[in-house]
Every structure is written in structure tokens, then in C-alpha cells.
Amino acid sequence: MSHSSELRIRPATPDDVPLILAFIRQIAEFEKLSHRVTATEEDLRESLFGANPGAEVLLAFAGDAPAAYAVFFHSFSTFLGKRGIWIEDIFVKPEFRRRGIGEALLTHIAALANARHCGRLEWTVLDWNTNAIAFYKALGADVLPDWKICRMTGPALRALAKRKPE
């Protein structure tokens, strides 16, 4: 990157909530999932900066321009007996791609994982996102072919929570 667009990565603060929500909407649009975004600024302020934060957010700036973000939280590996870091989102705005920003964010998170004595760093990638898959493989990531994500939300989650064991 040229000196005029110097890269800075910093942890998000409560003042960044509108920017975080804007990034969430941009990644959802890229993933063709905009219809699933229900998060509000209030949700994010409480979930990220309230009494029991559920995740951490990094923001990357090219000069003064917001260029990328990452959202991550700790997971746990029973097999390793150690915490891990799960990257929920990593997104570089299209106009800032191919400048090393995504790699810089992943490197930053990997350094945090090492400093925190984590045993693994994990994330998902959509199967059609061949550019991202190639990028992650080039960095040394394994793309696991045999694992499927299971998810419950909304009515299904509420129904299971109320279910009486037989």
C-alpha cells in the first residue's frame, strides 16, 4: 500500500457501532443474505460492549477510510484442551481488496490467538467464494470438506428450549 493509504488496525469502541452495523450489512449483501440481518445498533452496543461482551471487533482503515472489519470470539476445543478463536466475519470492502488488508487482519487475529495461548483459529467460508477459499489456502488454512454447520434460530430454538425430555 502506498504511504497515503497507510493501514491501521484497531479494536472497535462503542462509538464505532454504526460503522460495525454498516459493515455487517455490506458483508450480508456480498453473501446474498441481506434479508437475514435483523441486528440493530442497540443489539450490537449491548452484545459487543455491554456487561458480558459476546465478541470482539477489529476495524481496518486505509488512511482515514474504513476498509475492513473482523468479528471474532473465543471458542473451545475439547480435543486440544484449549481455547480457540472463531472468526464470525471478516470482510474487506471491494474497493480495498487485493491490498493486503485481509491478510493483515488475519495476521493480527492469529497473533492474538498465539498471545492468548489458543490452540486453533477457525472460520467458515461459503462454498461459492472461490477467491476467498484460494486466499485462505494460500495462507495455510485447511478447508474442511467433511463438516456441516448445524444451526437453530427463532421458533426452532425457542421450541427446543421449551421441549420436555421424554
Annotated catalytic residue 136 = yes
Pairing of strands 120-123, 82-92: parallel
Residues 6+ apart with CB under 8 A from 4: 63
Closest CA to 20 of 3, 44, 2, 36: 44
3-state helix, strand, coil in the chain (%, to 5): 40, 25, 35
Catalytic residue among 62, 90, 136, 147: 136
Residue 44, number of CB atoms within 10 A of its CB = 23
Are 74 and 84 contacting, i.e. CB atoms less than 8 angstroms apart? yes
**Alpha-helical runs (H) found in the chain:** 17-30, 41-49, 101-115, 130-138, 154-162
Catalytic residues: 136
